[in-house]
Amino acid sequence: MQQDRFEADYLLETPIDVDRAAEIISGEQSSGTFVAIPGETPELKERSAARVVALDVTERDVPGPSLASQDGPVPGQRVTRARLTLSWPLATIGPSLPNLMATVAGNLFELKCVSGLKILDIRLPDVFATAYPGPRFGIEGTRRLAGVASRPLIGTIIKPSVGLDAQDTAVLVSQLCEAGIDFIKDDELQSDGPACPFDARVAAVMAVIERHADRTGQKPMFAFNLTGDLDQMRRRHDTLLAHGATCLMASLNSVGLVGMIELGRFSQLPIHAHRNGWGYLSRHPLLGWSYVAWQKLWRLAGADHMHVNGLSNKFSETDESVIASAKACLTPLFPDKPCTVMPVFSSGQTARQAHGTFAALGSTDLIMTAGGGVMAHPDGVAAGVRSLREAWAAAVDGIPLADHARTHPELGRALEVAA
């Protein structure tokens, strides 16, 4: 790709001539209007307009449309689907993530000629790597702070999501520390409410974690949810630093791109990026974003961990999509600045998912967060943590899960309840 341009790939569905639809889209998102106007010269278009780099029809004469328009459904209407690649000159926006989003994901999805549009991927010139910090800690820094050299980080989520006060939370964290957990996180619904104030929760939890670290030399990583406006996030971040915390969490769709950029610039802690709300951006197969494209923005902005769902999850996403998302997080963004981050597997994860996850991903650079998979083990929390570690050890060593369970009772018991 040219270093003076940026590109985006789309899955396009249209009821009109596909070449005309591509022309309308490229004009809408660059120099054009719906009618020719003075000043929109051929020279200007050549210099500044978006270009159709590729347009490959994948399906013709498909019953449609996928999305409604103001005219309503047209009986018997047929649509065409194609893969469209557009290119824009960098000179129109500069290396700006907010304006990149406005360009590649602006007034496109609601065009009449568009009955389906999904962003599949984006490609950025190297100047974006200079303009944005990217992950400050990433995989290496996360492993160093958590004290886990090579295996996956085994983690869990504080549940109930809400209802526990600061001291209740600290009691649960104490149990998890004693169980040998690597990583704990706030639920995204737990923030700074009167029932469990952020400052009180941090003080109570970090007192427990520090005592455990002093006694054992191991300091579990706790991702505190500091989601809020910019001033709140700055203050909460400083509170975490003062108490010796080693991770923070932010909800990407809540703080927005600019909020995440600013958080990435001032944070001195790894950023655990939660994607709650992802479904409204992605669930329809012909509307919104693919994760492969979307996660690039947040990695550049400063995320160190990115949620990717999990195999056999409770949501609508397929296993193939989950693995594609995780592989994207481990794929370098730029030759000299990889910006690789820890994919976070969650949602109904147990010892049974370890083999499939490792076989498909081919890496142990991940965080597996298991709620019931840890907390609901019939022999207790410590057995739940050990069962997940045993499952991963078997997966990495190529030992069938059932065979390993015969000599590792915690794993065997976990498989009995996770059938």
Kindly report which listed range (65-79, 292-306, 331-345) carries the lowest average pLDDT score.
Answer: 65-79
- Asked whether the bond before 65 is cis by omega within 30 degrees of 0, the reply is yes
> Is the pLDDT confidence value at 34 over 60?
no
Q: State the maximum Cα–Cα separation within the chain, in Å, rounded to a whole number.
A: 79
Range 373-385 average pLDDT: 94
Q: Check residue 35 and give its pLDDT.
A: 59
Q: Say yes or no to pLDDT of 93 above 70.
A: yes
User: Is residue 282 pLDDT above 60, yes or no?
Assistant: yes
Q: Where are the beta strands (DSSP E) in 42-181?
A: 51-63, 78-89, 116-123, 153-157
Q: Indicate the length of the chain as a whole number.
A: 419
**pLDDT (0 to 100) of residue 68:** 83
Q: What pLDDT does 419 receive?
A: 60
Q: What is the average pLDDT across 371-399?
A: 95
Residue 312 is predicted with a pLDDT of 93
**pLDDT score for 28:** 87
* pLDDT score, position 80: 97
Taken in order 10, 258, 262, 279, is the CA torsion positive or negative? negative
The rounded mean pLDDT for the chain is: 94
pLDDT reported for residue 117? 97
Residue 147 has what DSSP assignment?
T
308 Cβ contact partners less than 8 Å away, ≥ 6 residues apart: 291, 322, 325, 326, 329, 343, 344, 345
Poorest-confidence range of 132-136, 397-401, 415-419? Answer: 415-419
Tell me the three state secondary structure of residue 390. Answer: helix
Predicted confidence at residue 45, as pLDDT, reads 66
Is the per-residue pLDDT at 398 higher than 70? yes
Q: What is the pLDDT of residue 409?
A: 96
Contact partners, residue 383, CB within 8 Å, separation at least 6: 377, 410, 413, 414
Looking at residue 90, the DSSP 8-state letter turns out to be G
Give the pTM: 0.95
Share of the chain above pLDDT 90, in %: 89
Residues 116, 80: Cα–Cα separation, whole Å = 10
**pLDDT at 22 exceeding the cut of 60:** yes
Checking if the pLDDT of 33 tops 60, the result is no
pLDDT tens per residue across span 214-242:
999 999 999 999 999 999 999 999 999 99
% of the chain beyond a pLDDT of 70:
95
Predicted local confidence at residue 46, as pLDDT: 65
Whether residue 160 is preceded by a cis peptide bond, meaning omega within 30 degrees of 0, is: yes
292: amino acid identity, one letter? V
8 Å CB contact between 77 and 67:
no
Comparing 26-30, 185-189, 315-319, the range with the smallest average pLDDT is 26-30
Predicted confidence (pLDDT) at residue 40 exceeds the cutoff of 80: no
CA torsion sign, 88 to 89 to 91 to 94?
A: positive
